[in-house]
Amino acid sequence: MRLDADDVYVERIGALRDMQREGYKVIGCSFEVIDVEGESVRTQVQVSEGGRVGYGMLFGNMICHPSVVMEREYVLSLGGYEDVEAEDYKLWIKILMEGGKIGNYTGIGVKYRKWGGGISEIRRESIREESLNIAHEYCSHLVGSCDGLEVLRGGEGDMEEAAKLLDVIEGKFEGCEEIIYDVEERRRELAWRGCRHAWEVWREKAAGGGEVGRCWIETSKNWK
């Protein structure tokens, strides 16, 4: 378990331990963002179910790194952190691709201090580029040769192909009922959402431009 100076919600330890007994290899939690003065900026309630976390990881980092509890021996068996800027996102994706279970405790478990001098601010551009590569690798791992993948590589695409891709991706996860209910009636909405979010991820690679963040958790706060 990682413990920082900002870590004041020690009661989270028991809840995270309970989830670990359920087979989760990495567990994060919801958090409160504070400024340099310690004043609350906002509260981020994290997606909890493993399936929805896995789905959201296609578009960004759904785990708050300072809040994490992980199974050390398991993580080391996969090689641990790699020497990359987006090391946490890379590790979570590696675990998911190996079939490991990742989830969040929805209770507020940590105060996360954000300030302009942090590493993630200074190295933002290189982190973004790495995250594009990681997200692309993960999606390719999930969908293989699905025709809909081409929709996300910068082509104009169409709703039918985008919906096909979403069907494949959603079928890889459990606990996604809130996302996929009434698929026939919501096909256009789902397809539009898939094109919008996924195109952001690959836009820079396909079209040579576009602003893509390392962690889309602040713009895609939940997946309903």
Read off the pLDDT of residues 175-213 as tens digits, 9 standing for 90 and up.
Answer: 555 554 444 444 555 555 555 565 555 554 444 433 333
Domain assignment present for 154: yes
Based on the fold, state whether residues 55 and 16 are members of the same structural domain. Answer: yes
Same structural domain for residues 95 and 167?
no
- Assess contact for 153 and 202: CB atoms under 8 A: yes
Does some domain include residue 129? yes
Q: Helix, strand, or coil here: 57?
A: coil
CA-based nearest residue to 103, from 169, 58, 67, 52: 52
Q: For the full predicted model, state whether its pTM sits above 0.95.
A: no
Tell me if residue 140 falls in helix, strand or coil: helix
Domain that holds residue 95: 12-113
CA gap 206, 64 in Å, rounded: 29
Q: How confident is the model at residue 183, as a pLDDT?
A: 45
Amino acid of residue 142 = L
- At residue 172, φ and ψ (nearest 5 deg) are -85, -10
Q: Mark the ranges of the chain whose per-residue pLDDT is less than 50.
A: 5-6, 153-154, 180-186, 204-224
| 92 plus 146 within the same structural domain | no
- Do 68 and 129 lie in one domain? The reply is no
Each residue's pLDDT tens digit, 47-70: 776 677 888 888 788 888 888 888
List the one residue out of 133, 139, 132, 129 whose CA is nearest residue 55: 139
